[in-house]
Structure 1
């Protein structure tokens, strides 16, 4: 699969966009502490600054952990789903969407399928993006390294992928037409193809979207 510079640029833009807010908040918290009167410290003010730094550093840490597995080499090397599950739960922590990913799902035997954990994590992120008003994401499935089926069910509004994301996922969008909003869908689809996974997304009733990974 040839390297496309535009895809690299868009992914980098996405990383920076998702990290600039928490990193900036950490800096703001440090500046508040630096501006405090050393002779007459304000405990309440100090507490708020520390709370801001703690919250923002945790957010940045969770996002970096997901990026490392979803896009980096570490995701390819996963043999099970523990780390991918933890990253998905951390990604949505404090947000409008809840992830229900039971421990032991999929079975560890399916972890032998190269790229499955990495691609599944990307699908969960894509499902969260589709739920613009929040909702729930449920992961289920079974199989081993040779065959199996995993589903990611997104419940909430709007219950479907927007046309641009759907086209990017399918690979029918020209690379020059990709944006920072659709590049994740595009990369998710290409990961599935690279790891010989069959990925589909289809509505299933009112405000329900089901992603299916088969191999």
Structure 2
């Protein structure tokens, strides 16, 4: 892999494609359910269709609320985000997945990019346990300390670090280049550098540990995306 820098238009387009991919399935299910309600006379089928619409609407809403913080502006430049809100959207986002989420740590207002990094790391964590399992999120530090360390431990059968993930986090592109399939970990690396946090991954026998540690105060961000502006 080689280091790559996307221009802002390409980055925005690929992130939009990723978000659309995440919401198209539940939105399509809502459309199908509404069509059944319009055409079907059988009461049992109508009940099934209504249930599908309700579940899919909840899923679409959860994915959009998650994306708003993880990828979007979610406040003005330099804003802080409540980690309690991050926990709520993460739980809703994973509610229909095979992963069980646990969350430990004080509730705090953290710089926006650090919360965005945390949520994106949770997405990455879910890819390390493709057959399901547990995702344990720990925020290490006090509720008054913006320099918290994030530790995410996954446990599951057939756990692994996806091929190329570490390179993408470092801003390196695979041979075919950056596309919508790999934009999320690439973007996570951008946000990590903007937030001045170092991200590391460690494979264990039964899972993967992801850690995000604040850089020393004198360290400078490596990307053109600055603290508080990524995704805004």
TM-score tier (shorter): 0.7 to 0.9
User: How many angstroms apart in 2 are the aligned matches of 1:213 and 1:7?
Assistant: 23
Cα 1:116–1:43 change in 2 (3 A) is same
Structure 2 match to 1:187: 187
Question: Secondary structure at the residue paired with 1:46?
Answer: helix
1:5 aligns with 2:3: no
Which of the residues 138, 141, 149 maps onto 2:139? 141
Q: Does 1:131 align with 2:112?
A: no
How is 1:40-51 mapped onto 2 (pairs within 5 angstroms)? 42-51=42-51
* Structure 1 residue 114 displacement after superposition: 4.6
Indicate conservation of the 8 Å contact 1:65/1:87, yes or no. Answer: yes
Q: 1:84 aligned to 76, 83, 86, which one?
A: 86
In structure 2, the CA distance between the partners of 1:146 and 1:24, relative to structure 1 (3 Å rule), is closer
> Which structure dedicates a bigger proportion of its chain to helix?
1
Q: TM-score, normalised by structure 2?
A: 0.80
The whole-number CA distance in structure 1 between the counterparts of 2:21 and 2:209 is: 28
Q: Is the 8 A contact 2:130 2:159 kept in 1?
A: no
| 1:95 paired residue number | 97
Secondary structure in structure 1 of the residue aligned to 2:134: strand
Single out whichever of 122-131 and 72-81 deviates more from structure 2. Answer: 72-81
User: Deviations for 1:170-195, whole angstroms, at most 9, x for unmatched residues?
Assistant: 11226971232211111111101001
Residues 79 and 111 in structure 2, CA contact (< 8 A), matched pair in contact too: no
Distance 2:92 2:45 in 1: 28
Residue matched to 2:155: 155
Contact 2:86 2:115 in 1 (8 A): yes
In 2: Cα distance, 1:140 partner to 1:25 partner: 34
TM-score, normalized by length of structure 1?
Answer: 0.86
Residue 106 of structure 1 deviates from its aligned partner by 4.1
Alignment check: 8 A CA contact 1:89 1:99 kept: yes
| Alignment-derived partner of residue 202 in structure 2 | 202
Within 2, Cα distance between the matches of 1:78 and 1:139?
A: 20
Number of aligned residues: 206
Which residue, 99, 102, 113 being the options, matches 1:115? 113
Aligned CA-pair RMSD: 2.2
C-alpha separation between the residues in 2 aligned to 1:148 and 1:57? 34
